[in-house]
Amino acid sequence: MTAVPATGSHHDAGRDAGVGPNARVPLADYLAGVLRGLRPLPPLDLEITAAHGNVLAGDVVGPGPVPAFDHAAIDGYAARFDDISDAQPGRPVRLSVVGDLVASSWRPVRLTPGTCFSVAAGALMPVSADVVVPPGLTDQGMAAVEVYHPTKRGHGVRRAGDELPAGAVLARAGAYVTPPLVAVLAASGIGHVVVRPSPRVVVIATGDELVDVGRASQPGQVVDANSHALTAAAAEAGAHAYRVGICDDDPEGLRGLLDDQMLRADLIITTGGTGTGPGDMVRRILSRQVVFSDLSVYPCSSLGYGTVGGSNGVPIVCLPGDPGAALIGFEVLARPVIQLLAGADPVFRPSVRAHLLETVSSPSGMREFRPAYITERRGGGYTVAPLAGGPYTLSGLADANGLMVLGEKVISAAAGSTVDVILLDRRR
């Protein structure tokens, strides 16, 4: 299952963004070129539990009312309001209890004047009953009951369609299937919905120097943190994420691995080898399929985007090898691609304006994404404290709940000034 291109190929989309070997492309222009070349994945009919977390591909209309029938909302005595309206302390109303009704009772019954039914919450209401008297307002009799206080007409009763009438739109296209929505769908008698499937994302780390976790880095050996972190990030974004692991700097090995993964992936993410140094194999091998762009983004200034397997193949995002830069690159490019494939709208995380607690500097001509900790003020608004950035972005991200964005023209932001902060919701 692959994305449906809008016009042309994903490779063309990268070129539409103004990509060039010597250009430093503004991030907004780059993303516009990439994202307009993608469409959400084709819709899929899923059972409602399996659909949890996916985006609806169309409106869902309820086939019947919710509740489906009049029933008792509480335990008590189903009665006619006219029979109990005169009840008062010292002068109770006495009713004959003609039967018991539980939630599994299905046969319709009718009340006659002066009678009532003992009912459990969820039980079908007797015909002509319009109130359920709580046991605490009675002597809790079994064959007959004395009602000491009247209740309002309709108390303790849920009528058919009170919550949702038949034909109501239960959810609009683009809505996430949440646990409460699953309950609404089930209560309405809907067992399947048409959704955009969660993208299948494959993560590959490249580099001869990489070793698996469980050992310390040393000269010539670097622990592969990226593939683990990016797989977790893709899963957090709602994807079905698969970590392939480490691929050595072997051109044929990389080509073969990509060919194998195309059958299981809607998006491939690689990390490492995006620079122009002698060891940057990914950029050399994929240069015909992937456009590598120098962006005005710090600390992730080099990204690759394209398609493997032809114009209708699988989109691929190539991220840097530095772990902090790779995670920033995931946020600015890979995550929006995942969200678009999943049919989400908007595809970007929400952001707020916040008052800066410390003065920070930023590289000239670059849009910096700086880890930060944002706090909501009791009187309204937000404050934000910058965390470690630049070469220490990875440690900063571990404590961050936001990304502070400093524009290309900002070289210094003073304490007390207002900055944009992207909210990092770790649950999604």
Structure tokens at 30: 């780059």
What span, in angstroms and rounded, lies between the C-alpha atoms of 26 and 38?
A: 20
- Find out whether 422 and 349 touch, Cβ atoms under 8 Å: yes
Claim to verify: residue 183 and residue 172 sit in the same structural domain: yes
pLDDT at 8: 40
Scan for tokens 């880890």, then name that residue: 371
In contact, 37 and 5? CB cutoff 8 Å:
yes
**Mode of pairing for the β-strands spanning 314-319 and 267-271:** parallel
Query: In this structure, are 213 and 191 located in the same domain?
Result: no
Same-domain pairing of 382 and 303: no
Q: Are residues 34 and 112 in the same domain?
A: no
Same domain assignment for residues 169 and 205: no
At 274 the pLDDT is 85
**Do residue 335 and residue 394 come from a single domain?**
no
Closest to 295 measured CA to CA, from 15, 30, 11? 30
Q: How far apart are alpha carbons 283 and 25 in whole angstroms?
A: 18
> Does residue 428 lie within any of the structural domains?
no
Residue 4 lies in a domain: no
Domain housing 30:
10-42+197-341
Judgement on whether residues 208 and 265 belong to the same structural domain of the protein? yes
Report yes or no on 147 lying in a domain. yes
Residue 31 maps to a domain: yes
**How deeply is 55 buried, as exposed, middle or buried, from its count of CB atoms within 10 A (0-12, 13-18, 19+)?**
buried
Among residues 287, 309, 341, the one where a domain terminates is 341
Kindly give the confidence (pLDDT) of every residue in the chain, 428 residues in length, as a single tens digit, with 9 standing for 90 and above: 444 434 344 444 444 444 444 558 999 999 999 999 999 999 999 999 999 999 999 999 999 999 999 999 999 999 999 999 999 988 999 999 999 999 999 999 999 999 999 999 999 999 999 999 999 999 999 999 999 999 999 999 999 999 999 999 999 999 999 999 999 999 999 999 999 999 999 999 999 898 998 888 888 889 999 999 999 999 999 999 999 989 998 889 999 999 999 989 999 999 998 877 777 789 888 988 999 999 999 999 899 999 998 767 899 999 999 999 999 999 999 999 999 999 999 999 999 999 999 999 999 899 999 999 999 999 899 999 999 998 899 999 999 999 999 999 999 999 999 999 999 975 43
Q: What's 56's domain CATH number? A: 3.90.105.10
- Could you tell me the sign of the dihedral formed by the alpha carbons of 267, 271, 272, 274, in that order? positive
* 169-171/60-61 β-pairing: antiparallel
CATH number at residue 210: 3.40.980.10
Side chain identity at residue 23, one-letter code: A
Same domain, 77 and 139: yes
Query: Residues 360, 385: one domain?
Result: yes
- What pTM was computed for the model? 0.84
Q: Which long-range contacts (CB under 8 A, 24 or more apart) does 158-161 make?
A: 158/67, 158/70, 158/71, 158/72, 158/73, 159/67, 159/70, 160/65, 160/67, 160/68, 160/69, 160/70, 161/65, 161/66, 161/67
User: Which pLDDT value is given to residue 14?
Assistant: 45
* Among 134, 158, 182, residue at a domain's last position: 158
CATH code for the domain of 414: 2.40.340.10
In a domain, residue 346? The reply is: no
Q: Within a domain: residue 3?
A: no
Whether 176 and 232 map to the same domain: the answer is no
5 part of a folded domain: no
Instruction: Based on the fold, state whether residues 307 and 190 are members of the same structural domain.
Output: no
Chosen domain end from 341, 365, 391: 341
- Verify that 202 and 329 share a domain, yes or no: yes
Query: DSSP readout, 385-428?
Result: EE---GGGHHHHHHH-SEEEEE-TT-SEE-TT-EEEEEE--TT-
Domain membership of residue 24 (yes or no) is: yes
- Per DSSP, 91 falls in state B
Q: How many domains does the chain have?
A: 4
Say what the pLDDT of residue 63 is: 95
- Which token pair is 170? 């239960």
Residue 174: what pLDDT? Answer: 92
